[in-house]
Structure 1
Amino acid sequence: MAQLYFYYSAMNAGKSTSLLQSAYNYEERGMNALLYTAAVDDRAGTGVISSRIGLEREAQLFSATTDLFAEVLGMSHTQRFHCLLLDEAQFLSKEQVGQLCRIVDELAIPVLAFGLRTDFRAELFAGSQYLLAWADKLVELKTVCHCGRKANHVLRVGADGQPIKEGAQVEIGGNDRYVSVCRKHYIEALARP
């Protein structure tokens, strides 16, 4: 039975690596994996899922206007897919998470979505909010703070390394812009003048 999975974490927990490993596992067994990534994040190139350990793979793009159900339904007329793997799931809209549910329920294709739970203000992204509410299975991927505790928050930092407290929810960046920390160090960093 197909299910909707949401693999979530702070940054640098290996979400993209896990997604790419899942694709490999399916394909090693002769199954077709359909990969998607967010058009807004082109750090590794347009339509590329890339991990920090050097793995990468081409993927379909989704944007705010993509109807994922219609696209997958259209593609499934010419090719059978055994799973849909979606990176940067935090950028999905409420409607798109509903479309993923339809892919699972109506097309019987398992969906594994990977993304951040919260932004740099410790607030849910829309995609994450509805995945947390509607997914069949929730899996937290863990990473660590510099102190050794589990990192569950993300700090946005400026060029000077100081935390940024305000700004747009979405600002694409990597280790140069974001640091994963535990709640204690998140609160302490934001309390500094």
Structure 2
Amino acid sequence: MAKLFFRYSAMNAGKSTSLLQIAYNYEEQGQRVQLFTARIDDRSGVGSIASRLGLHRPADIFEDRTDFEALLRTQAGLACVLIDEAQFLTPAQVEQLHRIAHLRNIPVICFGLRSDFQGKPFPGAAYLLTLADDMEEIKTICACGRKATMNVRIDDQGQRVREGEQVLIGGNSRYQQTCARCFYENGATPSA
């Protein structure tokens, strides 16, 4: 029986690298996969999944109005669906992906962040944490050496940003991973 998987972490843990490795493994066995990434993430070009290690490949894009059930309805022989930047999924899209896994028997593996730079959940991640049949934390470390579970946004001068829009694409130039202790000791005050 197929499942909806959620592989999550803070920044810089290798989520995209893991996704690309899974795609390679399926394809090496002659199986067909469908890759998606968020239109909003244009760091390596729209419709491209790229790893900080230098791996990259094209992918289909999703945005708020993407209907995964309609899009994948005509796809025969699909072995797996892989989603990068899954925190940008809408709650309805997470529900669609859950149905695809269970009603079409196609594994769906989503990779993304749980929370933003203020410690608030992304809606897509919150739904994945609720509906995913299997969850795995991909680990990375804070500058202090502890396990990083949070993300902070930094400005052009390297100073921490505490307010603003939830989404500002920028990768390593705009975000850093941190442990919860460093996140709070450095003045974050997330509200419920």
- When normalised by structure 2's length, the TM-score is 0.96
Describe the SS at the equivalent of 1:105: helix
Describe the SS at the equivalent of 2:173: coil
Structure 2: 5+ residue runs without aligned partners?
none
- Is 1:176 matched with 2:141? no
Describe the SS at the equivalent of 1:145: coil
Deviations 1:37-94 (A, max 9, x none): 00000110111000000000110110000001110113x1xx4110000000000000
- How far, CA to CA, are the matches of 1:156 and 1:190 in structure 2? 13
Amino acid at match of 1:142: K
- In the TM superposition, residue 187 of structure 1 has moved relative to its aligned partner by 0.9
- How far, CA to CA, are the matches of 1:14 and 1:165 in structure 2? 25
Aligned equivalent of 1:14: 14
Runs of 4+ residues over 4 Å off in structure 1: none
- How far, CA to CA, are the matches of 1:144 and 1:71 in structure 2? 37
Describe the SS at the equivalent of 2:36: strand
- How far, CA to CA, are the matches of 1:48 and 1:190 in structure 2? 35
Describe the SS at the equivalent of 1:150: coil
Aligned equivalent of 2:28: 28
Aligned equivalent of 1:81: 78
Q: How many residues align?
A: 189
- Is 1:137 matched with 2:119? no
Structure 1: 5+ residue runs without aligned partners?
none
Amino acid at match of 2:16: S
- Is 1:101 matched with 2:93? no
Describe the SS at the equivalent of 1:180: strand
Aligned equivalent of 1:126: 123
Describe the SS at the equivalent of 2:186: helix
- How far, CA to CA, are the matches of 1:179 and 1:20 in structure 2? 22
- Is 1:70 matched with 2:70? yes
Asked if the contact 1:47–1:59 (Cα under 8 Å) also holds between the matched residues in 2, the reply is yes
Asked if the contact 1:163–1:190 (Cα under 8 Å) also holds between the matched residues in 2, the reply is no
- How far, CA to CA, are the matches of 1:148 and 1:142 in structure 2? 12
- In the TM superposition, residue 190 of structure 1 has moved relative to its aligned partner by 2.2
- Aligned-residue Cα RMSD (Å) equals 1.1
Aligned equivalent of 1:116: 113
- How far, CA to CA, are the matches of 2:104 and 2:36 in structure 1? 17
- When normalised by structure 1's length, the TM-score is 0.96
Asked if the contact 1:7–1:114 (Cα under 8 Å) also holds between the matched residues in 2, the reply is yes
After TM superposition, the structure 1 = structure 2 runs for residues 154-193 of structure 1, keeping only pairs within 5 Å, are: 154-190=151-187
Asked if the contact 1:69–1:100 (Cα under 8 Å) also holds between the matched residues in 2, the reply is yes
